[in-house]
A and B are shown apart, each in its own frame.
Chain A
């Protein structure tokens, strides 16, 4: 557990119930625990960094997404969303999250389970994720990246026909002066291909792998 913060009951022990509730995916309990911590004087940032991020770290260390069944992944995701709703009932403001990403399943693909998992993992790590949903036109995604000040654009694709859409992303970003914003791809169809074939910066093996890449990118570490 990270060192205690300055105010409130911010010791590791205080956050243990939150970590436990997240690990079993109990979203109602988790929301209640988060609410109690806030009432006891914890800051929202502490709940994210000492609670959510720590728990996600445990999940990440113990195993990868592959060792979970789908229900467990969805439960953790739902639990993270419930805490985020308690902490930020009006949604993350651009300055509240660590950094902002935009994410979507592109036009032609309505399978967005994988995208939702990535969103939840990143939210659990304290990032602000703007989700454009599924069947999203490339221009909408690029527009959102510009508007929200995104530091990376994430796309998920389950079916192969969406590949042609992914290839349109970088030229569209460049046209908007966002050539410096990296594109990360993932999902069953896309992870069969190399980054060059998709014209993206990184192809993530799974949600946590993608999150690691983004952590490195945000912290300015070499991306490889």
Chain B
């Protein structure tokens, strides 16, 4: 890794970056707290993203830069961040910071959605301007919004932000209970809608995208979130009798949503119907994104989140279930646990003499551990014998502290307990689902890990703490936000839509709440140890 030193807002920050990735300064800065102001897609059209290069090599000025910047500016080292690609140790000053926002761009930019495994249907001839699609993944804790070029099958912009409904309950159940009051339900629906509008507004401003080009918006999410968005039938989710039935979450009208979001009147807005119980269309979208029905069975997809969902493809049946992962892997597990955003410790490694080394995402000031960092840390502590498989620190302390770049991060046994519970719910869910389908977990040909761990999770460490089974090389894969990628695929082509309906037709839903085997498996999976081959 190479250092990019950034002077912004009177302070000097040191970012680690990989020159081999060939990213522009703008792309490197986007996930950080010192984003540069922009108003176009990074083609040099707006000329706003000015930085001063103080030291190091970023390539010669492009034709666009020579057009946008007068000679004295160029001579003074002023450049457009979207046009320069640093190649070594570089120091820059950000001349115009983007206004603060709660909508972050994940590291990797729009590419963080992951590969789109679907080709776009042919566009109508001479369609000008090119039509856009908007994909929304409405999660319990986070909302992701992507804008894609429908003809080019290319993601143009991506934002991830907190679901503002969190203030009314971190978990699905609490929020549903709050929505028992019609006024509160109305408020919750407005919050989610406003959040999507906010993300779109910011994309329009920073990427210079005209939202009136949007032809279609597709929303996927878990059943509870979709029912709260549409403000329909959410109270039925509190009745166990309805947990294995489909739930109608189709909004009664969307014209007002389109107006609120600044779309053209002809833009269509669609909420993709969930499956049953708490298994939503986010899981189905993930199945489409990864083309699970084309994979060699048995194949498993786990979408990690506050409401975790699991799909198992056995060749003729798609077994699905939902389990309360809890927010343990994300924000609010403990005050030192945060989402994988700027300042998150995403990786922890054992260095020389047992000391820990840390990777901080998009920044140099650690704010806390995110899910993948927490998994690494627990695995390191287990290997060093400082943490027992029951979740207690070996020296008897209530809390361990670690110095990361001059800041002290803590890990208490209660945070470990919360992670054990989430891990057990998912592990037991996986085991029971496999049991229902007559599949031995270690016989899985493919295990796809989607959701909040993004691309950071260390699969070996995940196996060490028993979060995932230990499988031969190549069978486990991180697939990022497969729900959002699936929504993009559904926007792009009719074939994806057909796969969705085929998958929907061969679903078998498993209600873990009614499975006696779940309780016993849950206790077994509370241990921080590799899943046994028998389990």
Residues in chain A within 8 A of chain B (CB atoms): 69-72, 74-75, 78, 107-111, 116, 134-135, 158-161
| A108 partner, pick from B180, B239, B392, B417, beta carbons under 8 A | B239
Residue of chain A at shortest CB distance from B413: A69
A75–B417 alpha-carbon span in the complex (Å): 14
Extra 18 A-B pairs, beta carbons < 8 Å, given A69-B420, A71-B391: A69-B391, A69-B413, A70-B526, A71-B390, A72-B390, A74-B526, A75-B523, A78-B523, A107-B240, A108-B238, A108-B240, A110-B240, A134-B513, A159-B238, A160-B177, A160-B180, A161-B238, A161-B239
CB-nearest residue of chain A relative to B421? A70
Asked if B64 is at the interface of the complex by the 8 Å CB criterion, the answer is: no
One of B238, B390, B513, B523 near A69 (C-beta < 8 A): B390
CA separation between A74 and B240, bound complex, in Å?
A: 25
A71 to B428 CA separation, bound complex (whole angstroms): 14
How distant is the Cα of A110 from the Cα of B173 in the complex, in angstroms? 12
Return chain B residues, CB-CB under 8 Å to A116: 519
Q: Is B416 an interface residue (CB 8 A)?
A: yes
B126 within 8 A of A: no
Closest Cβ neighbor of A68 among chain B residues: B417
**Known contacts A110-B513, A161-B177: A71-B239 contact under CB 8 Å:** no
**Do A70 and B177 contact each other (CB < 8 Å), given the known contacts A78-B523, A135-B240, A159-B238?**
no
Specify which chain B residues have a CB less than 8 angstroms from the CB of A69 in the assembled complex: 390-392, 413-414, 416-417, 420
Closest CB-CB distance, A127 to chain B, in whole Å? Answer: 22
Chain A's closest residue to B416 (CB) is A69
Cβ–Cβ contact B514 & A71, under 8 A: no
Contact between A71 and B420 (Cβ–Cβ < 8 Å)? Answer: yes
From A71, A109, A135, A161, contact of B523 by CB (8 A): A71
A111, closest chain B residue (CB): B513
Once the chains are docked, how many angstroms separate the CA of A109 from the CA of B177? 13
- A122–B146 Cα distance when bound, in Å, is 54
With both beta carbons as reference points, the residue of chain A lying nearest to B235 in the complex is identified as A161
- Closest CB-CB distance, A37 to chain B, in whole Å? 25
Q: How far is the CA of A70 from the CA of B527 in the complex (A)?
A: 10
Q: Which chain A positions have C-beta within 8 A of B239?
A: 108, 161
Query: 13 A-B contacts, Cβ less than 8 Å apart?
Result: A69-B420, A70-B417, A70-B421, A71-B523, A74-B523, A74-B526, A110-B514, A135-B240, A158-B173, A159-B173, A160-B177, A161-B177, A161-B239
CA–CA, A107 and B239, complex, Å = 9
Q: Mark B140-169, 1 if CB is under 8 A from A, else 0.
A: 000000000000000000000000000000
Write out the residue numbers on chain B whose beta carbons fall within 8 Å of the beta carbon of A161.
177, 180, 238-239
B394: min CB distance to chain A, Å: 15
Residues of the A chain whose Cβ atoms lie less than 8 Å from the Cβ of B421: 70
Contacts of A74 in B (CB 8 A): 523, 526
Bound complex: CA A135 to CA B527 (Å): 28
B270 → chain A, closest Cβ, in Å? 31
Complex: A168 Cα to B177 Cα, angstroms: 20
When distances are taken between beta carbons in the complex, the residues of chain B under 8 Å from A78 are 523
Query: A69 CA to B413 CA in the complex, in Å?
Result: 8
Nearest opposing residue in chain A for B511, CB measure: A110
* Min CB gap A188→B, angstroms: 10
Contact with A along B160-204 (1 / 0, CB 8 A): 000000000000010001001000000000000000000000000
A110 and B243 CA atoms in complex are apart in Å by 11
A111 CA to B417 CA in the complex, in Å? 18
Q: How far is the CA of A109 from the CA of B513 in the complex (A)?
A: 9
With a CB–CB cut-off of 8 A, which chain A residues contact B519? Answer: 116
For B514, what are the chain A residues with a Cβ–Cβ distance below 8 Å?
A: 110
Closest Cβ neighbor of B392 among chain A residues: A69
Task: Return the chain B residue nearest A78 by Cβ.
Answer: B523
Q: Return B351 CB to nearest CB of chain A, in Å.
A: 29
Among B17-45, those with CB < 8 Å from A are none
CB distance from A25 to the nearest CB of B (A): 8
- Residue ID in chain B nearest A109 by CB atoms: B240
Given contacts A108-B238, A110-B513, A135-B240, contact A71 B177 (CB under 8 A): no
Expressed in whole angstroms, the Cα–Cα distance for A71 and B523 within the complex equals 7
A64 to chain B, nearest CB (A): 14
Chain B residues within an 8 Å CB radius of A159: 173, 177, 238
Shortest Cβ distance from B265 into chain A, in angstroms? 40
Taken together as a complex, chains A and B put the C-alpha atoms of A114 and B326 apart, in Å, by: 17
Contacts of B391 in A (CB 8 A): 69, 71
Alpha-carbon distance between A109 and B420 when the two chains are bound, in angstroms: 23
Give every chain B residue within 8 A of A109 (Cβ-Cβ): 240
Q: Indicate with 1 or 0, residue by residue over B375-416, a CB within 8 angstroms of chain A CB atoms.
A: 000000000000000111000000000000000000001101
Instruction: Return A45 CB to nearest CB of chain B, in Å.
Output: 28
Q: For the complex formed, measure the closest distance between the CB of B9 and the CB atoms of chain A, giving whole angstroms.
A: 42
Closest Cβ neighbor of B526 among chain A residues: A71
A51–B507 Cα distance when bound, in Å, is 50
Q: Which residues of A contact B420 (CB under 8 A)?
A: 69-71
**Which chain B residue shows the least CB distance to A162?**
B238
Closest to A24 in B: B390
What distance in Å separates the Cβ of B333 from its nearest Cβ neighbour in chain A?
14
**Shortest distance in angstroms between A78's beta carbon and chain B's nearest beta carbon?**
7
Q: A70 to B526: give the CA distance in the assembly, Å.
A: 8
Find residues 466-510 in chain B having any chain A CB closer than 8 Å to their own CB: none
Give the chain A neighbours of B416 by CB distance below 8 A.
69
Contacts of A110 in B (CB 8 A): 240, 513-514
- Most B CB contacts (10 A, CB to CB) among A111, A135, A160 go to A160
Give the residues in chain A near B513, CB-CB below 8 Å: 110-111, 134-135
